[in-house]
Amino acid sequence: MKFFFFFFLMLQVQLLQAQEIKARVLDTNTKKPVPYANIILSENRGLVTNEEGYFSYNAKGQELPEVIRISSLGYEILDIDPRDISTEIIYLKPSTVELREVFVSNKNLSAKEIIEKVKEEVSNNYNFSNTKKRIFLRESDFSYVRRFDLEVDKSTIAGIDQNLMNEISSQVPKVSDSYKEVLADVYGNYDSQKVNIIKAANLHNPKSTESLEELTERLNSLFMNTLKERSYLKIRSGIIGIKVDEDELKEDFVVSGKKKEKTPEEKEKDRLQSRKYLKTGSLAKVQRLMNGMFWKEDITFNLFDKSNKYRFKMNGFAWIDNATAYVIDFEPKRGADFKGRLYVNTEDYGVHRLEYENVKPLKKFRLFGISTADDVYRGKMIFTKDEAGKYNLSYMERETGESVGVHRPLTIIEKNKHVKGRRKQNELDLELKLNVSQVNKLQLVVYENEAMPAGSLDNIALTDDFDYQTFKVYNPEFWSGYNIIEPNTAIRNFVALDADAEDL
């Protein structure tokens, strides 16, 4: 009897394991990962590999599909029974394109003529109907402090010297990162959307600036201990100066005490408010991505809207989904901002894939020792073709970033006309040198796409209550049983300085 119980238990474990697949897709020849490969599970359902070639699929108690189809640009399609995946590695074989067949159909069009065909066929090629999309949205934020120097030229305030400024500079985190992950249903089309969040996670590092805050409080305390009654400050940076009176000093330089413990009612209010903010922010990010589709007018990435500003070049052919695609490179002329590559179907002129990046800052500003530059704007769009011949969004990625530089003098003078002697009491002269870069990356994966009945968009019920947790250490169990784009190495290794997690 015990034998049969053990056998039954082992069988259940094997069945449960069989419902989930985790694998990495590699190139057969180079053994390098194949990023953003399409993992087709069934019609209108699929995943993509992440930038390191990993993917996972959980059937959630249902039977696995009989066949999983894996396809990527430049590779032969691989149809594989998921039950035959005995290892965690799947190899894709590079494909060879029969150029003779391509030349019969392409009529030797120039790259510029192909681009015009793409623009003409957008309305026929892409699915503009309202659909329900199950999506996974990942937002990654990175901050890089490349320089932060506080050089003391003069200080008459005890304790405020170059040693303190060096300590403050050393406590500033040079690199910090944070991530938000959202699983949601998106209803609508490329012009209008509604979002219902199912589950969300926040990886953040609240301790990353705590040591700096402690030093700032120490600096404030030194100021407060030195300042005389009824003093005021004259703060000047270059030709710009302001006056800070006594009341403002007491408000701005008071050392903060311990935070008051929140009541259960206040915590519940914060919990609901955090979810409301996350939902509003997630909708805004989805809208921002959808509004940047390549065929739209008056967008930052203006390749098709302002195609006359770009130079196009044929760069051969590629094989994707049993079809050939033109490989077209583009670069700017006449002051355009982007370079990149697109893959266009040779038969219907649909864009399978598009990659782009800026070649110069989109905006720059410099005045009085302060400079800013919008110097990162790059992205990807990947589309898959359904059985009706329509292209649907499979994966979209966009990175934006800016750099800020400050190189300015800072003078703080304490003055007091109510004490005997000189009006000037103390003086602190600093030179501030700061260079910071920030990058925001949005990744959106669509892995289910269902048609919606006409008029049903207005009747979608929306909710603000869903499972949302904040972590200070990456938690691989949180997404167990859900299909998402696999986390990369940086996310898997994420650990905040304070590893005690706290749910919101």
> 474 and 348, same structural domain?
no
Decide which of 320, 344, 361 is a domain's last residue. Answer: 361
Q: pLDDT band at residue 5, thresholds of 50, 70 and 90?
A: very low
Write out pLDDT tens, residues 118-169: 999 999 999 999 999 999 999 999 988 888 888 999 988 888 889 888 888 8
Does 241 share its domain with 314? no
Higher-pLDDT residue of 408, 206:
408
How large is the average pLDDT for residues 371-384? 94
Mean pLDDT, to the nearest integer, of 346-355? 94
Task: Examine the domain organization and report whether 397 and 284 are in the same domain.
Answer: yes
Q: Tell whether 183 is covered by a domain.
A: yes
Lowest mean pLDDT among 212-221, 263-272, 443-452: 212-221
CATH of the domain at 341: 3.10.450
Same domain membership, residue 272 and residue 335: no
What CATH code is carried by the domain that includes residue 70?
Answer: 2.60.40.1120
Q: Taking 70 as the threshold, does the pLDDT of residue 79 lie above it? A: yes
pLDDT-based confidence at residue 4 (cuts at 50, 70, 90): very low
Please tell me whether residues 355 and 366 are part of one structural domain. Answer: no
Bigger pLDDT: 436 or 236?
Answer: 436
CA distances to 101, 200, 331, 332 from 314, rounded to whole Å, are 17, 43, 12, 15
Do residues 164 and 461 touch, judged by C-beta distance below 8 A? no
Q: Is the pLDDT of residue 381 over 60?
A: yes
pLDDT-based confidence at residue 459 (cuts at 50, 70, 90): confident
Residue 255 — very low, low, confident or very high, per pLDDT cuts 50/70/90? very low
pLDDT at 171 (0 to 100): 78
What is the arithmetic mean of pLDDT over 215-244?
Answer: 71
- Mean pLDDT, the chain, integer: 82
pLDDT at 235 over 80: no
The conformational region for residue 345 under phi > 0 = left, psi -120 to 50 = alpha, else beta, is beta
Residue 441 has pLDDT above 70, yes or no: yes
Q: Are residues 345 and 482 in the same domain?
A: no
Sign of CA dihedral 269, 270, 273, 279: negative
Question: Residue 251 has what pLDDT?
Answer: 58
Determine the pLDDT at residue 15: 38
Task: Say whether both 280 and 349 belong to one domain.
Answer: no
Report the share of the chain in percent with pLDDT over 90: 34
CA dist., res. 182 & res. 472, Å (int): 17
- Pick 49 or 85 by higher pLDDT: 49
Same domain, 380 and 314: no
| Tally of structural domains, the chain | 3
**153 shares its domain with 244:** yes
Q: What is the pLDDT of residue 244?
A: 65
Q: How far is CA 487 from CA 37, 186, 420, 456, in A?
A: 15, 22, 66, 34
Please report, as a single letter, which amino acid is at residue 456.
Answer: S
Asked if pLDDT for residue 2 goes beyond 50, the answer is no
Return the pLDDT at 494.
80
Q: Rounded distance, CA 236 to CA 252, Å?
A: 17
pLDDT at residue number 256: 46
Domain match, 249 and 330 both = no
Q: What angle do CA 328, 333, 339 make, to 5 degrees?
A: 45
Residues 395 and 410 placed together within one structural domain of the fold: yes
Are 117 and 91 in the same domain? Answer: no
**Is 1 within the bounds of a domain?**
no
Per the domain annotation, does 168 fall within a domain? yes
Range of the domain at 335: 111-126+310-361
Are 97 and 109 a contacting pair, CB within 8 Å?
no
| Structural domain contains residue 4 | no
CB 57 within 8 A of CB 21: yes
| Range with lowest mean pLDDT among 180-184, 318-322, 324-328, 386-390 | 318-322
Q: Cα–Cα–Cα angle for 11, 12, 15, nearest 5°? A: 85
* Pairing, β 131-155 against β 175-188: antiparallel
pLDDT at 14: 40
Q: Tell me, yes or no, whether 435 lies in a domain.
A: yes
Residue 165's H or E segment, with its range, is: helix 162-171
For residues 12-19, give the mean pLDDT.
44
Q: What is the pLDDT of residues 31-76, one digit of tens each?
A: 998 888 888 887 777 888 888 888 888 776 667 788 888 888 788 8
Whether 11 is covered by a domain: the verdict is no
The verdict on residue 10 lying in a domain is no
> What tens digit of pLDDT does each residue of 263-314 get?
888 878 888 888 889 999 999 999 999 999 999 999 999 999 999 999 999 9
Question: Per the domain annotation, does 501 fall within a domain?
Answer: no
